[in-house]
Amino acid sequence: MPVKRKIIIAITGASGSIYAKMLLDVLSKKNNLEIGILLSDNAKIVWNTELENEDYNNYPFTFYNKNDFNAPFASGSAKYDTMVVIPCSMGTLGRIANGISSDLLTRAADVILKERRKLILVARETPYSLIHINNMKLITEAGGIICPATPSFYSRPKTIEEVAKTVVDRVLDLMEIENETYRWGN
């Protein structure tokens, strides 16, 4: 039996709940993944506001409390290979960039970076201040990937979901998860 990939998905209170929902929708249909979810209190409020539902409760994943430092991915020995923060607030990005492990989300990101595993931060803010840019530089220098929630339009998306899908497809590619999507030149 193949070894399950272990992935952490963290959802912050930044605008862009649609990105998190669409990523969870895809991952819930994949086999051979062990998914741990971190959902901030603000993420729940923003999800309810933007998507007008509480569907985050309906996913078949294990959810962890922000203060649960006994969660497996609070330690590198659990061997989670990928962490995605989607959407990622600039406050969360700044804490990660500066090694401030004040909750399980920032501790997990710290572990992923120190173990040289894949950290993907789907930054959702505009415009960027110099502080944001410098924090993104620190994350990049530490081995993380900044993937701004910037949609593409060459596939000619027609709906808001199709626009959001262009970002989620990029995240799935970065996660090395197979996904049927528009490819340039097709």
- Each residue of 113-154: pLDDT tens digit? 999 999 999 999 999 999 999 999 999 999 999 999 999 999
Domains of the chain: total: 1
pTM: 0.96
Burial group, residue 145, by CB count within 10 angstroms (0-12, 13-18, 19+): middle
- Compute CA distances 160 → 21, 26, 61, 165, 181, whole Å: 13, 17, 26, 8, 16
Q: Report the CATH number at residue 110.
A: 3.40.50.1950
Domain membership of residue 88 (yes or no) is yes
Residue 185 has pLDDT above 80, yes or no: no
**Inter-helix orientation angle 90-97/104-114, to 10°:** 50
The Cα 62–Cα 99 span in angstroms is 25
In this predicted model, what pLDDT tens digit does every residue of 68-102 receive, in sequence order?
999 999 999 999 999 999 999 999 999 999 999 99
The Cα 139–Cα 3 span in angstroms is 29
Which domain does 27 fall in, by range?
A: 5-14+23-175
Domain membership of residue 185 (yes or no) is no
- Model confidence at 41, in pLDDT bands (50, 70, 90)? very high
Neighbours of 177 (CB within 10 A): 17
Domain membership of residue 184 (yes or no) is no
Domain membership of residue 181 (yes or no) is no
Residue 1 has pLDDT above 70, yes or no: no
